[in-house]
Homo-oligomer: A and B are copies of this chain.
Amino acid sequence: LVDAERIAADIDALAAITEPGRPYTRRAFTPLFLEGRAYLEKRFKSAGLETRIDENGNLIGRRPGNGSGRGVLMLGSHSDTVPEGGRFDGIAGVIAALEVARSLADQGITLNHDLEIVDFLAEEVSIFGVSCIGSRGMANMRPPEWLERRAGDLTLEEGLGMVGGSPHASGARNDIRAFLELHIEQGPVLEADHLDIGVVTAIAGITRIEIIVTGRADHAGTTPMTRRLDALTAAARLVIAIHHLGQELAATAGHFAATVGEFEMEPNAANVVPSRVRMLLDVRAEHRRDLDQFRTLLGQAVEVVGQETGVTIAAPKVISDNPATPMHGEVIEALEAGCQATGASHRRMASGAGHDAAFMARISKAGMIFIACAGGRSHTPEEWAENADLTLGAAVLRDAVCRLDDQ
């Protein structure tokens, strides 16, 4: 029903649209991104889809249904990449969605719903420093002040215009019944468990927490070890505490991960006792109670380390807090039924990474499937997914779409 070679040819064609010698770099708002889109639009058209750029800069290909007014089933993901990474991250989901449309066309099937294939604008953190611009826009969740964000001379308002969108969006779409997205897992679980498909139960919340440790800059040669307020030594104790808390909470039910992703020290001079450390934590929680418990235990660790070392540690500050998003039960079940029908081995799992589906879930019933990627690696030129897995994923999507269409 779905065609592996057609899928592989499209993946290869997009992979060739990258900065020379720098695979795979097709960042949103760049000429290469527009080149990738031009290719996609051509392919959408060959599949018989009516194409348009919506007001949020998303490329959409439409296959009208039988006119029964039951709304839209939307499939897709994103074609933009991070610098040096994204042979599959995003584009796999766009091509799988396109293949579903092609397969339906091949067989002359008309759905009860209108089918829309979407390439969301700028899912990755773009040149404007923010992510999921297109899906946030479609859900009317893009902060208006983002329009003024700049990348060099360009504002996001101008960037939206450049890709064919409009800054004056007319609100959330309310005609989408369900949204389905295929994506590479970006983690090692499916590969390790030798499974074809992960059916996503929820997209974990992403909470960013800043911790600032303030000690005292002293001469590293002359200040006795017992008389220091060494910000680094105190921060190191917190790093270890955070890692252990992360491990403990990850061992309970539900996805949980805590990472100190940013760590900067001052004055960072060879012969000066460190006076200040700034850490930025990335916390992913499927369940809010795990996040709450983490924050409680983190607060206790901060107290203890502050008391025992004498340094000052400000109360951990939540910089951003996007709650977890459950996927919709009907879509989860349709996708699981799709796995069974196509013979795909599968498990339920949470997504630790953020996705456009998290925003689509605000305005529609949303669901996602993952396919394995080699070593769980993504956002790197080595990122790899097998075409057989991607093809099987497209078949699962196709089956689930038909099921949802019947309901």
Contacts and interface: CB of A to CB of B under 8 A. Distances in A.
B222 A185 contact: yes
A251 to B, nearest CB: 8
A114 interface: no
A340 B354 CA distance: 73
Contact of A243 (B233, B272, B379): B233
Interface stretch (A57-65, A102-110, A224-232): A224-232
Contacts of A353: 219, 221-222
Given A240-B236, A282-B270, A352 B221 contact: yes
Interface in A27-59: none
Nearest to A233: B243
Nearest to A259: B220
A221 B221 CA distance: 41
- Report how many copies the assembly holds: 2
A247 interface: yes
Nearest to A131: B271
Contacts of A377: 218
Contact of A239 (B204, B232, B273, B378): B232
A239 B256 CA distance: 26
A271 B319 CA distance: 14
A161 B322 CA distance: 62
Contacts of A261: 220, 268-274
Nearest to A263: B265
A380 B269 CA distance: 14
A186 interface: yes
Interface residues of A, number: 60
B240 A260 contact: no
Interface string A126-165: 0000000000000000000000000000000000000000
A258 to B, nearest CB: 8
A406 interface: no
Contact of A236 (B239, B250, B280): B239
A246 interface: yes
A316 to B, nearest CB: 15
B240 A240 contact: yes
A187 B224 contact: yes
A250 to B, nearest CB: 4
A361 to B, nearest CB: 17
Given A219-B352, A222-B257, A236-B240, 17 more contacts: A187-B219, A187-B222, A188-B227, A219-B376, A220-B282, A222-B352, A222-B353, A223-B257, A224-B257, A225-B257, A230-B243, A232-B260, A233-B239, A233-B260, A261-B271, A262-B265, A263-B274
14 contacts: A186-B222, A188-B227, A204-B221, A218-B377, A221-B352, A222-B376, A225-B257, A226-B250, A232-B263, A233-B260, A236-B240, A259-B274, A261-B269, A270-B280
Interface of A: 185-189, 204, 206, 208, 217-227, 230, 232-233, 235-237, 239-240, 243, 246-247, 250, 256-265, 268-274, 280, 282, 284, 351-354, 376-380
